[in-house]
Structure formats: structure tokens, C-alpha cells
Amino acid sequence: MEENLLFSPDSLYFLIDISHKNKKLKNFTFSNISQIDIILNASEPEKFLPVKEELTVIKLFDNFDISGLLVKIIDKEKIGESIFRLFVSPLSYVKITKVIDYNRYAKVKVVKANFKEISDIKKKDAYLSLLKKYFKEYSLYKNIDDDTGFLISSENDILKIIDSLLFYVDIDDEELKMILTETDLEKRTEKVIKHFLYEIEKVKIENEIFESVIKKDLEKSRKHLLMEQMKIIRSQLGEKDDKEDEILKIKTKILNSDLKEHAKEKALEELEKLKDLTVYSPEYSLIKNYIEWILSLPWEKTTPDNFDIKLAKKILNGNHYGLDKVKERILEFLSVLKLSGNQKGCILCFVGPPGVGKTSLGHSIAQAMGRKFVRVSVGGIKDESEIKGHRRTYVGSMPGRIIQMMKRAKVVNPVFMLDEVDKMGGDFKGDPSNALLEIFDPDINDSFSDHYLEIDYDLSKVLFICTANVIHTIPAPLRDRMEIVEISGYLENEKVEIGKRFLIPKIMKKSGLKANQIYFKNDGILKIIRNYSPEPGIRGLEKNIQTIIGKRAKEIALGQKIKDFKIGEKEVLKYLGPELYLERTKNKKVFPGVVNGLAWTPLGGKVLTIETLLLKGSGNIQITSQVGDVMKESAKTAISFLRKNYKFFGIDDEFYKKYDIHIHIPEGSIPKDGPSAGITITMSILSSLREKPISPDFAMTGEITLTGMILPVGGLLEKIVAAQIDGIKNIIIPDKNKNYFSMIPQYVKKNLNFFFVGDIYETSKILFR
């Protein structure tokens, strides 16, 4: 039938509407439709079906440019009660323009679907090539027969190829509908190509997964088969299974161990799981490792405590020179333990600069008590799991550092030192200081829960000792559970004795030198202390002594002649080179505006020089050398106070207008801040205004107010030690620090003159008398 007759305006066609029925849409494309099944109601006669050779419209979609297909009925067959099968031949995609309802059936007018062709021949050929290429690749994965592939490869009508391809690909009806209703052939082709690419990639991944799973299953089956065969062979040879032997040994260990009842139950429970696993299973090794951890921990074993206070005093004095106040506090602590028999809540924290013997004091306490000593550094830890362990669900999980150290101690009552508690951090993984709160709490540390163990562990018999360089960075709740014992730096005479009694003999023993090959004179050790390692601790001193002994050992090994085996000042210069630190008061010129202040740092006390220079100008104030806001405010306070009291101090009443004031603190690369420099800044400005120098033998510390009052400051002990080391003879401190001053050991204050002042007026009388 000619096309103009098919689609004449007067042509009416029988309608079969399947647009709302649950049909597989891919069976009704132009290239794939061949038959359609119709179910009539019992009351509907067969005459309501199209007859043979009748043209019929099969409606597939609503409200699109394509409504369905115009087909010719080739034959009709009854296949069941009220079920008919129509065999059809497709003629064209059509769009329904009008529906005429005849009550029991309907007829429609249609127009041929208008497809937008691909005008560019080269592009059309490229699309055809891609469609055939991707179908060929897809057919390899889906095992599509060669005849189908041949038919598609020989077809050159894009519309027919697309309809044929869609029959074989996995696609849902909604996506297929979007393709079939697209009348732009270029867009229609692109949608099909994109879907084919997706399907090809999906099939590749499915095949990879399938192969991987099959391979794993085959490997497991093979291992299991081999294991079963080995069991049969061993059984026939009269041998026992290694796995059964291993489980039996572990069970015996558990039953004969000193585990707590709840721990024993947990271990046996985990052991039961092993019986159902092969030794090659990853879970087998994880469970076995967990049980071994439980068995390796001490649960009941202790070392007997020795509370001989005289022996403890002897050990402390033998291991440490000086630190009398600290040793006294330790002896008091041990005495309380002896009398009470209860160490709950006793957490000592040694606070002081590096190298003053905090860690070695922990060793001495353990030695005096006859306990094992373990130490762990918690500085820099940011993850709570480092303390409490990782849960067993994680790969490579293990207990935290507390449990690890308890395993190493092998007893439940060691002396446990936690170093650098002031340097812990916290992030999204948790705050480790919170874990320490649980450990230090005497009411709950008998049931400490490690994330890995997941059973309670008793830490109540452990004697915890902490160390820190500073107090203010320790979280307040943690600090509240500790007894702080401050350790100041060593004085020069103490360092000399420590060098002679401890450091030199220890280093000589390690190096193999004898007493007749090297000997350190007092002035040589003092030279090292003053000019190479003036810090509060003794690590620098130890390193320098080690350097000198190493150089002397090299000379002896090379057979060089040694004129004098004694080490004095000249020999120190020879071996250590130019002086690194010069004594501040040595050969120092005196200038107006230059004043010594005392500062506190995390490494101990320090003497800082503050310089003031007056320049003709208009009253600008300049403060240099990385000075913080608090110190800048102290300078402004000092200037305001001097402006108000210019008559008392005999200075120009308009100095703040005539001069620019430049305040500088040497060692500019080091940040500086704090209120305790207030008195020093005030006296530096006053000295410059009066053009009268202040003796370099004086140093001072104190916060000032606008009324000239001097307020108390912290870190007094460290500041006095720094003054001793630096050769300062006279120290000015706030009158309100007298109470704390009385608690400072006498040997720290030895050979120093102290001046207690309540205000700037008293200070100026002392310095300008």
C-alpha cells in the first residue's frame, strides 16, 4: 500500500492500546515486534478484534511525537479462553492525531512519525560504525549468536539498527521509552551509544568480580580439601592434629594462668571460636593474637614493696646531687605510703626544665621501693587510641601504650612514668588527656578498659609518676589529680659536683679512659658550664664533657704526646673551640638605659637586658624584638607613670613630646611577652631620661601598675637560679613575693643580695643612690 494512502486524512485504523499495560517495551520496537497477545473480557465477542489483513495501530506512549506503531495483521490465532494471538508486520512509527470511541472499541487517525535525519553523511557513517563496533564488543560478553551479529553488521538503516540493538541490551522501560520517543536520529543514536558504553563497562566489572570470587572460592575449597586429606592421613598414621594440639595448649595455659575470672571467661569464649576456623583463616590469627595478649599480661603477680625510708634516702642521695627539697618531698611521699598502706590518689608530677633529673628521680623511686620501672613518653600524642588502644575491628589493631607497658613490666604494681604530659594534644580522634583522667582516678582505675582488650584491667596498684616542663599546658582536670613537685635548675657549684661525681666517671667508663689519662679541674668544669652550657639542666654539660673525653681518646689512640692530662680552662678552649656564651657582667661597659631583667621560660629562668634610647622627635614609642602585647602595654604603663611623677624623679616634664623613645630587648629572634618586665622597662626608661647608668650587677622582676605599685610574679625560683648562673649579685623582687621567697632553698639564695620593693619609688632609691 502506498504511503499517501496509508496516511490520508480520512484513514481510520483499529486501536490496540497497551500504553498502560505491564508489557516489555523492547518487544514492541519496529524491528522486533512480530506478535501481540490480546485478552478479551468474557462479554466481549471476537468481532471486537481486528481481522486478517486489517491495518492496526498499537499505542505505546502518551503525549509524545511518537505514539506507537502502525502494523498489518498477518494472522490471528486463539491460544486460550478469551486469549488471542495476533501476528503482525510493522509498517511505520506513527503519531495519533484523533481517537474515535465506538464504546466497545476505538479507531484512530494517524500521521507518520517525523524523524530528523542526520544530514552529515560522514557523521552518519561514523555513528553506524560505532553502533556496530559496540554491539560486537557487547556480544562477546553476552554470547549473542553470530547470525544476529551478521544481520546487524550488514544493516545500514540507523533506525532499524537501533531498534534491533535495543532488543539484546539490558535496559529498563523508562530509559527505553526516552530513546524510542526521540525523533532526532542523532540524539537517539547518542543515547544508545552512551547506554552501550555503560553496559559494556558494567559487564566487564561483573566478570572481574565473578572471576575474583570464583578464584577465592576455589582456593578456599582447595585448602579445605587438602586440610581434610591431611587430617585423614594423620589419623591413619596415628598422629594428632596440630590445630587441636595448639588449642589444647592454649586452653591449658588459660586454665593454669592467674587471669581474673572475667578475663578467663573471655579468653575461653574466644578460644571456642578458634575451633570453627581453619588455621589459614585471617580471623584465626587475630583471635589467637588476642588470647596471647590476655595471657601475656600480669594479673596478680606483684613485687614486694620495700618501705625502708633510710635506704630510700641513701639511694636518692647516691643517685642525685642537690634537689634537697624534692628529695625531702619524695621521702615524705614514701613515708605516707608506708604508714597508710594505700597509694590511691597519689600521683606525683615533676615539673622543671629539661635535663634536671626528672626521669632519673622516677628510676630512683622504683629502686628505693624495690619495684619494676617502666616509662612511656606521651609528648606529641594527639590520638586517644594511643593510650587506650584500637578496637579489634581495625586492621593491625593492638592495645594502647598503658597495656603494652604493663606487659613489659610483668607485674601489676610497677612504678609507671608518663613523660612529657604537658605536650599532649587533641584532635578529631579524641583527647588523650581524657584517657589519663580515667587512669589517674583512684575510684575507677581498678577497672581500666582498653579498647583492644575490651575487659577490665586493674591499674590501682600502679604508682604513676608524671613529668612536665611547664604546668600551664597541662589540662586543668588532669592537673587537679596530681601533686606538683617543682624542680628548679642547678647552680654552678651543683653542676660542678654532678660533673665530678656522676657525669665524668660514667663517660670515662664508657670511653675506656683511665684516671691517669684525663682529669677535670674545677676551673675547667666551670668554664664548660659558664661559656658552653649555661642552661638549668646538665645535658649540655654532659655532651661537652663527652666531646672533650672523645677528643682526648682520639689523641691517645693516635699515639700523640699529651703534655698535661689535666683539663683546665685552656684545654676546654682547645677542645671545644670559641666560647658560645659570654658572661654578661664580664668586661661590660655601662650605659644609661641598659637594665637587666629576669624572665621565665619553659627551659628555666633567663636574664634579659632591656635597652632604651632617647631620640629627638615628637613622642613616638617604638618597641622592637618580637615583643608581645602584654610587654608593649607594660611600656605604655611605665611612660604614663613617669609623665605623672616627673617631679619626683627629676626628669623633663615634656619628655614625651620632645623625644622618640625606642625600647629594645636583644636576642630579637626569640618571642618575648609577660607582665614581669614592667619594673625593668620603667627603670630602663628612667635611666635613659636621667642619663644615669644602672649597675650591671643588678637584675629585677615585677609587674607595675599606673600608680607605681609592684605586683608579685611567678617563676621566682627559676629567675634566681638564672641570676646565679649569669653572675648577677643583686636582685630586686616584689615585696609581695616574700612568702614564696621564704620557701626557696637557702643554697639557691647563697651569695646573693635581695631587695624587696613595693613600688617604683623604692626601686629608684636603691638603683640611683
Given the residues 31, 433, 676, 684, the one annotated as active site: 676
Please tell me the distance from the alpha carbon of residue 604 to that of residue 721, in angstroms, as a whole number.
8
Give, as one character, the DSSP assignment of residue 19: T
Give, as one character, the DSSP assignment of residue 155: -
Q: How many CA atoms lie within 13 A of 215 on its CB side?
A: 6
Count of all residues that appear for the chain in the document: 769
Please tell me the distance from the alpha carbon of residue 535 to that of residue 541, in angstroms, as a whole number.
9
Give, as one character, the DSSP assignment of residue 182: -
Sign of the CA dihedral 575, 581, 585, 588? Answer: positive
Active-site residue flag, 676: yes
If phi over 0 gives left and psi between -120 and 50 gives alpha, with beta otherwise, what is residue 246? alpha
Tell me which H or E stretch contains 76. strand 68-80
Beta-bridge mates of residue 663: 612, 623
Q: Which residues contact 622 (CB under 8 A, 6 or more apart)?
A: 660, 661, 662, 663
Q: What are the cell numbers at 249?
A: 595448649
Confirm if 89 and 75 have CB atoms less than 8 A apart.
no
Residue of 483, 484, 473 lying closest to 426 (CA atoms):
473
3-state SS track over 386-447:
HHHCCCCCCCCCCCCHHHHHHHHHCCCCCEEEEECHHHCCCECCECHHHHHHHHHCCCCHHH
Please tell me the distance from the alpha carbon of residue 572 to that of residue 518, in angstroms, as a whole number.
12
- Calculate the CA 428 to chain-centre distance: 8
If phi over 0 gives left and psi between -120 and 50 gives alpha, with beta otherwise, what is residue 112? beta
Contacts 24+ apart (CB under 8 A), 521-524: 521/566, 521/567, 521/568, 522/496, 523/568, 523/569, 524/566, 524/567, 524/568, 524/569, 524/571, 524/572
Strand order in the sheet with 698-700: 621-624, 659-664, 604-616, 594-601, 698-700, 730-734, 753-757
Please tell me the distance from the alpha carbon of residue 484 to that of residue 476, in angstroms, as a whole number.
12
- Please report how the helices 760-767 and 678-690 are oriented relative to each other, as an axis angle in degrees rounded to 10: 50
Tell me which H or E stretch contains 85. strand 83-101
Q: Which residue has the cell 604513676?
A: 464
Q: What are phi and psi of 99, to 5 degrees?
A: -120, 130
Please tell me the distance from the alpha carbon of residue 414 to that of residue 417, in angstroms, as a whole number.
9
Q: What are the cell numbers at 671?
A: 618571642
Please tell me the distance from the alpha carbon of residue 563 to that of residue 591, in angstroms, as a whole number.
44
H-only helix segments in 238-308: 242-256, 261-275, 282-296
Q: Which residue has the cell 629594645?
A: 664
Active-site residue flag, 719: yes
* Catalytic (active-site) positions: 676, 719
